[in-house]
Structure 1
Amino acid sequence: MAAELVALESNNTWTVMPLPAGKRAIGCKWVYKVKCNADGSLDKCKARLVAQGFTQQTEIDFLETFSPVAKLTSVRILLTNAAKKKLASSAIGHQ
């Protein structure tokens, strides 16, 4: 846990700010995971500090969320269509 806290602080992960009047801080908890080698022997123990964001309320504690995620099937369809229309070769200057 100490190594995780040092890493979070050295990366400037957060900025300590005063809470607005009448607001409570979002909680957090430690999540532990044991990593094993292929033969089943202990490799390392990991610890993560995670926010308990389930207490947040839309448009009160946060305004928007955005997480860019592309499914592999979507990328395959896009590349297949580009190949069929020969868009990939014309986009890089080859004819």
Structure 2
Amino acid sequence: MIAMQKELNQFERSEVWKLIPRPLNQSVIGTRWVFRNKIDENGKIVRNKARLVAQGFNQEEGIDYEETFVPVVRLEAIWMLLAFAILNTLFCIKWM
């Protein structure tokens, strides 16, 4: 419940949505909660996370709705990308 409340509070702070009356001639896209446990390297649960996701599979055929997507980048991924770009640049300069 705490994780769900944090997610809803984040929506309010970010002003992601606003509540409006439902149009009579439009269908509404449903939502569902996705729960995950964050685990440390010892296998101990560190915290619970909850995400409210849209059920886009109601409108498009063929979408894998067992997976969710959140546009978050880990710092390690950025470091790897920068290291690869630097090595690639150094390799190209060496062969010029």
Q: What is the TM-score of this pair, normalised by structure 1?
A: 0.55
Aligned match of 1:28:
31
Shift of 1:17: 3.0
CA distance in 1, matches of 2:57, 2:45: 33
Aligned: 1:8 with 2:11: yes
Larger helix proportion of the pair? 2
Give, in angstroms, the shift of residue 23 of structure 1: 1.3
2:44 corresponds to 1:41: yes
Match of residue 59 from structure 2: 56
Residue correspondences, number: 64
For the pair shown, which has the larger CA radius of gyration, 1 or 2? 1
- Sequence identity (%): 40
Q: CA deviation at 1:24?
A: 1.8
Return 5+ residue gaps in structure 2 as ranges. 61-80
* Structure 1 alignment gaps of length 5 or more: 58-71, 85-95
The alignment partner of 2:8 has SS state of: helix
Q: How does the TM-score come out when normalised to structure 2?
A: 0.55
Q: Which residue identity is paired with 2:41?
A: A
RMSD (Å), alpha carbons: 2.4
Instruction: Give the 4+ runs in structure 1 shifted more than 6 A.
Output: none
